[in-house]
Amino acid sequence: EEIVGRSGFVISSNFQRARWYDGKVYTWIGRTVRGGRGEGNSGLKFDILADKEPDS
pLDDT in tens, 4-54: 777 778 889 999 999 999 999 999 999 998 887 777 666 677 776 777 787
Cα–Cα distance for residue pair 27/18, rounded to 1 Å = 7
Q: In which band, very low, low, confident or very high, does the pLDDT at 1 lie, cut at 50, 70 and 90? A: low
Residue pair 10/43 in contact (Cβ under 8 Å)? The answer is no
**Interatomic CA distance for residues 33 and 11, integer angstroms:** 5
